[in-house]
Amino acid sequence: MATFEAPSRRPLYRFVLVAAGFYLVWFFVYELWLALDGRLDDALCANIAAASAATLRLFGFDASIHGLDSHLLLIASQPVVTVGNPCNGLVLYALFTGFILAFPGAWRHKLWFIPAGVASIYLLNIIRVVALAINHHYSHHTVEFNHHYTFTFIVYGWILLLWMWWANRRAGLSAGVPRYE
């Protein structure tokens, strides 16, 4: 008679504890230092706005950054999008990085996957701001819905796909764990 052996819950407990630890470190570092200082958020907001304006110019739009507010994106000298701290992507980069660090997998894969994932989230955020600016320019009454729902779904969906790819391919192959398919 064959016996059934339940899989160990140790990897799950390890993941939850490590992820919670990373979350607590991020929370305290951000809330007690980075947010209070404000320079990282400010620089990232200005960078996203500037990169979005440059992208819009590539597509033929008369886009610029407001002279007195480096977070305010203009099209044809009209304000269309302000990149605020909650929308600059910093929290998403930390969330993505913490998940990958907490999940099993070889460090040599994490060393390239984390920067590649953060870069892809950064680029997607620029695309999101560009799309919101165009949305505001042509149909400003739909911006609120698209900002809060459409683009949130797209960005978090992309991060979920990256995590699934990591969990199924990289972590499983490098840790000797069977892939989930």
Number of structural domains found in the chain: 1
> Would 1 be classed as within a structural domain?
no
CA–CA separation, 92 and 154 (whole Å): 13
CA–CA separation, 130 and 137 (whole Å): 11
> Would 180 be classed as within a structural domain?
no
Half-sphere exposure of residue 103: CA atoms within 13 angstroms, side-chain side = 24
First to last CA, the chain: 29
Strands 63-65 and 78-82: unpaired
> Would 2 be classed as within a structural domain?
no
Domain of 119 in residue numbering reads as 11-175
Residue 180 pLDDT greater than 80, yes or no: no
Q: How confident is the model at residue 156 (pLDDT cuts 50, 70, 90)?
A: very high
Looking at every residue in the chain, the average pLDDT score rounds to 90
Judge contact between 45 and 83, C-beta under 8 A: yes
Residue 179 pLDDT greater than 60, yes or no: no
Residue 171 pLDDT greater than 60, yes or no: no
| pTM for the full predicted model | 0.86
Q: What is the pLDDT of residue 176?
A: 52
Higher pLDDT, 69 or 179: 69
